[in-house]
């Protein structure tokens, strides 16, 4: 979260972070986590990764880079700081933000408040019937660190998104017996194929050799309106389905349910519409296809018993450990928690543009909902997404805030 102070524009720009150090939000995740997007897509603004950087960045390396970045850019980083409440005064046009920093209470009065807390809300914990009778361990992926302590254990992972796949692999590599509980279909695409067909023209070593820098690639990608992205992406996924036909046949034979979204437009469309429900395969899918990670799909969870789960179709999955890879809530949950439920309701949902597919909030007004732009609450901004989206749109958020501070007319256009 970023608080901009009132008064003259100075170098005082506190970035509030609950963790002690920049990058701890990456360091604190499970040990096998790494970026699934290629380095050419992930460069930071003003300071690209070195030329010898790995194509897929490991999480601790990413955390260290963010800490170095904050130092090089001389960001006024306030670690071990938690915002506890915020309220806007329409008369003074300032916020009152209560924070706890190193155990001490502090009040800030910024003219703009930016939520840069990612793409989601709080961890989504599902209260399954019978959960209180379970004799083993049950926790959310946000609390998962390593599978080392679960060697020989029966582990059930509820979910089939990116974290579910990563954690299944980590548990399998640690010697656990792993079953993925897949309650709904997921988009899956092989990393190598996506890099070639989805990223190759814009974000790749070959693209750089042709003179397509990351900045040029960003502008080209942004030139396609969100509503047209499915039409651009659908032919790519038709080609992916053809190239990797054997891969998808093997997944189907193993019982894994996959798709390319309701309209066949794939991962990027799904990310913009719902910000969830996909996996870029870096190894888990082969383990699933080979039966080394088992899959129980096609039914929800009826109840949890002392030593396992019962699915709605009667199947029983024995388990000593249950991991809820059930995702995260919506960003407006954080608004309701920090500011008020009324402000959260006034702003509404985030992501999506009213495409009509399940999970995509409407109505469509021509652009993505509430991200990187003015919202229904004055002087409040939201910044998030993957590294590429954050890199490109960070300038837009900064310019809009600067314009308002300088008194430049910046009318907001919306549907009547």
pLDDT tens-place string over residues 224-271: 988 888 999 999 999 999 999 999 999 999 999 999 999 999 998 888
DSSP state of 193: H
CB 176 within 8 A of CB 319: no
Whole-angstrom distance, CA of residue 269 vs CA of residue 53:
28
Is 70 contained in some domain?
no
Tokens of 200: 């190759």
Q: Confidence class of residue 358 from pLDDT cuts 50, 70 and 90?
A: confident
Average pLDDT over residues 382-409: 93
CB 307 within 8 A of CB 136: yes
Range of the domain at 144: 131-184+298-324
Q: What is the pLDDT of residue 1?
A: 59
Q: What is the pLDDT of residue 9?
A: 38
Q: Confidence class of residue 366 from pLDDT cuts 50, 70 and 90?
A: low
DSSP state of 174: T
Q: Does one domain contain both 116 and 15?
A: yes
Contacts 24+ apart (CB under 8 A), 205-210: 205/40, 207/40, 208/40
Q: Where residue 175 sits, what CATH number does that domain have?
A: 3.50.50.60
Q: Does one domain contain both 147 and 278?
A: no
Average pLDDT over residues 352-369: 75
Examine the pLDDT at 155 and tell me if it is beyond 60: yes
Q: Where residue 83 sits, what CATH number does that domain have?
A: 3.50.50
Is 221 contained in some domain?
yes
Whole-angstrom distance, CA of residue 307 vs CA of residue 315:
14
Examine the pLDDT at 74 and tell me if it is beyond 60: yes
Is 17 contained in some domain?
yes
Is 35 contained in some domain?
no
Q: What is the mean pLDDT of the chain?
A: 92
CB 110 within 8 A of CB 393: no
Q: Does one domain contain both 249 and 315?
A: no
Q: What is the pLDDT of residue 207?
A: 95
Q: Does one domain contain both 137 and 239?
A: no
Contacts of residue 140, defined as CB under 8 A and 6 or more positions apart, other chains included, come to 123, 124, 125, 323, 324, 325, 326
Is 415 contained in some domain?
no
CB 157 within 8 A of CB 287: no
Per-residue pLDDT tens over the stretch 296-348: 999 999 999 999 999 999 999 999 999 999 999 888 999 999 999 999 999 98
Q: Does one domain contain both 176 and 236?
A: no
Q: What is the pLDDT of residue 8?
A: 37
Q: What is the pLDDT of residue 271?
A: 85
Cis peptide bond N-terminal to 363, omega within 30: yes
Q: Does one domain contain both 218 and 305?
A: no
Q: What is the pLDDT of residue 3?
A: 56
Q: Confidence class of residue 128 from pLDDT cuts 50, 70 and 90?
A: very high
Examine the pLDDT at 188 and tell me if it is beyond 80: yes
Is 32 contained in some domain?
no
Q: Confidence class of residue 216 from pLDDT cuts 50, 70 and 90?
A: very high
Whole-angstrom distance, CA of residue 117 vs CA of residue 119:
7
Q: What is the pTM of this model?
A: 0.90
Pairing of strands 14-16, 76-78: parallel
Examine the pLDDT at 365 and tell me if it is beyond 70: no
Q: Does one domain contain both 173 and 308?
A: yes
Per-residue pLDDT tens over the stretch 2-55: 554 443 334 456 999 999 999 999 999 988 899 999 999 999 999 999 999 999
Per-residue pLDDT tens over the stretch 246-256: 999 999 999 99
Counting the structural domains of the chain, the total is 3
Examine the pLDDT at 70 and tell me if it is beyond 80: yes
Q: In the listed set 306, 324, 342, which residue is the last one of a domain according to the structure?
A: 324
Q: Does one domain contain both 88 and 234?
A: no
Is 162 contained in some domain?
yes
Q: Does one domain contain both 6 and 93?
A: yes
Is 206 contained in some domain?
yes
Q: Does one domain contain both 232 and 282?
A: yes
Nearest CA-CA partner of 203 in 187, 190, 219 = 219
Instruction: Provide the percentage of residues in the chain whose pLDDT is more than 90.
Output: 79
Q: Confidence class of residue 364 from pLDDT cuts 50, 70 and 90?
A: low
Contacts of residue 234, defined as CB under 8 A and 6 or more positions apart, other chains included, come to 263, 264, 265, 266
Q: Does one domain contain both 175 and 262?
A: no
Q: What is the pLDDT of residue 10?
A: 40
Q: What is the pLDDT of residue 81?
A: 96
């Amino acid at each position: 979260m970023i608080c901009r102070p009132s008064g003259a524009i100075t170098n005082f720009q506190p970035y509030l972070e609950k963790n002690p150090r920049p990058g701890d939000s990456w360091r604190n995740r499970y040990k096998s986590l790494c970026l699934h997007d290629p380095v050419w897509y992930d460069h930071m603004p003003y300071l690209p990764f070195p030329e010898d950087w790995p194509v897929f960045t490991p999480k601790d390396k990413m955390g260290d880079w963010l800490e170095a970045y904050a130092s090089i850019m001389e960001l006024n980083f306030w670690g071990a700081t938690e915002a506890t409440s915020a309220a806007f005064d329409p008369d003074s046009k300032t916020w009152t933000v209560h924070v706890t920093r190193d155990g001490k209470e502090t009040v800030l009065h910024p003219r703009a408040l930016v939520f840069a807390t990612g793409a989601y809300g709080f961890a989504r914990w599902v209260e399954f019937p019978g959960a209180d009778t379970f004799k083993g361990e049950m926790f959310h992926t946000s609390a998962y660190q390593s599978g080392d302590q679960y060697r020989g254990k029966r582990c059930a992972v509820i979910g089939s998104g990116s974290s579910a796949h990563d954690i299944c692999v980590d548990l399998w590599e640690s010697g656990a017996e792993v079953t993925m509980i897949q309650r709904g279909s997921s988009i899956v695409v092989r990393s190598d194929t996506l890099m070639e067909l989805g990223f190759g023209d814009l974000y790749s070593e070959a693209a750089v050799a042709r003179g397509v820098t990351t900045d040029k690639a960003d502008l080209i990608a942004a030139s396609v309106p969100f509503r047209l992205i499915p039409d651009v992406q659908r032919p790519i996924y038709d080609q992916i389905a053809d190239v990797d036909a054997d891969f998808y046949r093997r997944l189907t034979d193993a019982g894994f349910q996959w798709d390319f979204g309701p309209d066949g437009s794939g991962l990027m469309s799904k990310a913009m519409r719902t910000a969830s429900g996909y996996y870029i395969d870096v190894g888990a899918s082969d383990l699933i296809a080979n039966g080394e990670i088992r899959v129980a799909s096609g039914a929800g969870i009826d109840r949890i018993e002392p030593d396992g789960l019962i699915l709605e179709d009667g199947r029983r999955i024995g388990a000593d450990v249950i991991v809820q890879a059930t995702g995260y809530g919506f960003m407006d949950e954080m608004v309701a928690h920090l500011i008020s439920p009324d402000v959260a309701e006034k702003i509404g949902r985030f992501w999506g543009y009213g495409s009509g597919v399940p999970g995509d909030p409407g109505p469509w007004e021509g652009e993505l909902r509430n991200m990187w732009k003015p919202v229904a609450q004055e002087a409040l901004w939201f910044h998030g997404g993957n590294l590429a989206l954050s890199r490109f749109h960070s300038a837009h958020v900064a310019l809009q805030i600067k314009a308002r501070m300088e008194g430049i007319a910046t009318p907001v256009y919306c549907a009547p």
